[in-house]
A and B are shown apart, each in its own frame.
Chain A
Amino acid sequence: MNGNSTLAAHRSQGMKAAQLLFPAYLWLVLAVFLPLSAMVFFSFVTEMPFTGKPWSMTVANYAAFFTTGIYAKLLLSSLRLAFEVTFWCVVLGFPAAYVLAKVLKGRSREAIFLLVILPFWSNGLVRVFSWAMVLRSGGILDTLLNAVLPFKVDIDLIYSYPAVIIGLVHSYVPYIVLTCYLSLQAIDDSVIEAARSLGASRFTVLRRLIIPLSLPGIVAGAVLVFVPVIGSFMEPRILGGRTGTFYGTVIEDQFVAVFNWPLGAALSFILLAVVLFILAAASPVMRRSA
């Protein structure tokens, strides 16, 4: 009798959970699963079925990645780009998050916080184009520095690899600040005070306490930056000039310029596999930090 009633209770709880889960999962099925499976299908065909041309199933699109070296080479340069951008985001974002969480209080914290998330409120394309205006020779940075400095400098960073790094770091640094802020704020001040009163130097406190305790935030932020940057195509195309060819821009070309969706889809799934592999390889670190 008793067992029956708990079973019923379980069942009704399950029903309630299902009711709550249903909208989200319906949305995920419609918006993520269906298009993604369509893309999986497209990556295995010779021609897009709706163009009216004859088509058949093939693995040639995946084979294309391995038969020419250029896609692997591009993927490596995109990975390098993602590592560098993530590195600079952490270097710039972590100290900012520390100041927000531990130094500033009240109104000033709110104001600085607002400045961090402000870029999120503007369109990404607008941000990139404004960098293009700042970085070119005769642009805002060039004119400003030459007006202040006694000697002539020539700032012409546009259409170069550093320009791509600058644009991407600017776009993604708020992710690191936000995730690090959350984990830094969770550290109890009294722990830091205890360490200081026991004679630990500021550097030791940072190395032995703050960084290990905030590692989950750093790792989460790094993943949030790393994954989209590998596939980025807009920033390299606009800011990179002739050095702006990356894995993401080649995928974009397949979809937009030459209408070869099958190859574009196959290249995208190879990228997805590589990203999942890297995340899996990094998961021991993440689990320890979590």
Chain B
Amino acid sequence: MTGISKLALLAAAVMIAQQAVAAEVHVLNWKGYGADEPWAVAAFEKATGNKVVNDFFNSEQEMLTKLRTNPGLYDVVMINAAFNDQATTEGLIQPIDVSGIANYKDLGPEKAQSPLLNHDGKIYGVPWVWGLTSIAVNDKAFDKTPTSIQVMWDEAHKGRVVLRDDALEAIQFGAIATGQDINDIKDMEVVKAKLASLMPQIRTFWGAENDWNQMVAANQIDVGTYWSGSAGRAKKNFKLPVTFVVPEEGAVGWLDAFSIPAGSKNVDGALAFIDYMIDPAFYVEWDNKVGAPVSANVKAVAELPADAFNRAVMGDPEVASRIRFQAPVSDADRERYLQIWQELKVNVQ
């Protein structure tokens, strides 16, 4: 073989390899959270010719570490809005040109313009879905669905209450129960005392959605902290007697958004994937088949059936007024919350 033909072959091989890389969209998200639904991946691949490669994380810290240690590997990453600021400051994600996302104009403006996702006039996150962390009840234990968070402290349900084993959630829950701002807790001693008085009520601490559902299925618990999307799935997918409550004291809101990591090799593919994720067609199918949180796309929510929880309850302006969205939490606060939470758990013995 002559030198020139060798070179040509090499060039061809490089071009093929580049093409193969360019056609892949590497997505980093929680497992079982929409982006990895097989029917959705198949539909997206068929429509755009991009191949989706899913990777998963088990905690926000792990997600950030994966971004730090694999620059250039991922094209799309799902980041909770409270962590967007940290990812932007560390230079892990890049500004997004939303002119490439057709559905962007249909997003709720207060979500799209959230200061959590926008820095220096640039967009670092496309809001995807949002939901609440609040309480849910086992319908078998209540004739009338409670409206106050204080039901967790009710002696009648002693030993049948669950709380998630998560410092941030527990402390913010305590803040709501004591009438404080979750993003600016002034009196931590009151929160501590309130949570300490909750401990004797607790049956166990739950970790994952499955724990919660199993305990309701076995009729072991009456009430506990839960996520709105999970409660929807429990009711729809697993036919469990679960009702999600947005108590009068308020609820913690969270917003999940898609970002594009710095150094992404396939920004066009990433934009197409994000566009598909906020598309009404995908969302309606996701909520119907599996059960999803509330879409940030106003049109997508409007296409749900009128009695759907995500449209009827979560779309109610009166409910919306009770929601307090989570702001970023500093590392120092996180460590302080963990220490308080560990102390509370240790002293229960």
- Residue positions of A touching B, CB distance < 8 A: 48, 50-52, 68, 70, 73-74, 77, 136-139, 159, 161, 241-245, 250, 253, 256-260
Rounded to whole Å, the gap between the CB of A141 and the closest CB of chain B is: 14
Task: Give 5 nearest A-B pairs by CB, closest first.
Answer: A241-B204, A259-B61, A245-B345, A159-B204, A242-B202
Q: Can you list, as one digit per residue, whether each of B192-207 has a CB less than 8 Å from chain A (1) or not (0)? A: 0000000100111100
Which one of B65, B68, B346 lies within 8 Å of A245 (CB-CB)? B346
Shortest distance between the CB of A42 and any CB in chain B (Å): 14
Classify the secondary structure of B's interface with A: helix
The tally of CB-CB contacts under 8 A between chains A and B is: 67
Closest to A159 in B: B204
B contact residues vs A (CB 8 Å cutoff) = 58-59, 61-62, 64-65, 68-69, 90, 166-167, 199, 202-205, 218-220, 334-335, 338-339, 342-343, 345-346, 348-349
Q: 9 A-B Cβ contacts within 8 A?
A: A48-B65, A52-B68, A52-B69, A68-B343, A159-B203, A243-B348, A245-B342, A245-B345, A245-B348
Shortest Cβ gap from B153 to chain A (Å): 15
User: B92's closest neighbor in chain A, by CB?
Assistant: A52
**A256-B59 contact given A241-B203, A241-B205, CB 8 Å threshold:** yes
Establish whether residues A258 and B219, one from each chain, have CB atoms under 8 Å apart when the complex forms: no
CB distance from B329 to the nearest CB of A (A): 12
Identify 8 new A-B residue pairs, CB closer than 8 A, beyond the known A137-B220, A241-B204, A259-B65.
A51-B68, A68-B343, A70-B346, A136-B220, A241-B202, A242-B205, A258-B167, A258-B334
Docked CA distance A243–B348 (Å): 7
Of the candidates B68, B167, B202, B339, the one whose C-beta lies within 8 Å of that of A68 is B339
Q: Which residues of A contact B204 (CB under 8 A)?
A: 159, 241-242, 244
Name the B residues within 8 Å of A74 (CB-CB): 346
Least CB distance from B167 to A in Å reads 8
Measured between C-beta atoms, what is the minimum distance from B21 to chain A in Å? Answer: 24
Which of chain B's residues have a CB closer than 8 A to the CB of A250?
342
Expressed in whole angstroms, the minimum distance between the Cβ of B116 and any Cβ of chain A is 22
Please report the C-alpha to C-alpha distance between residue A265 and residue B311 in the assembled complex, in whole angstroms: 47
Q: Which residue of B lies closest to A133 (CB)?
A: B218
Complex contact B218–A138 (CB within 8 A): yes
Q: Please measure, in the bound complex, the distance between the C-alpha atom of A74 and the C-alpha atom of B69, giving whole angstroms.
A: 34
Q: In the bound complex, what is the Cα–Cα distance between A59 and B269 (angstroms)? A: 47
Interface centre among A68, A159, A250 (most CB of B within 10 A): A159
Contact partner of A259 (CB less than 8 A), chosen from B59, B218, B219, B342, is B59
- Whether A52 pairs with B346 at a CB distance below 8 angstroms is no
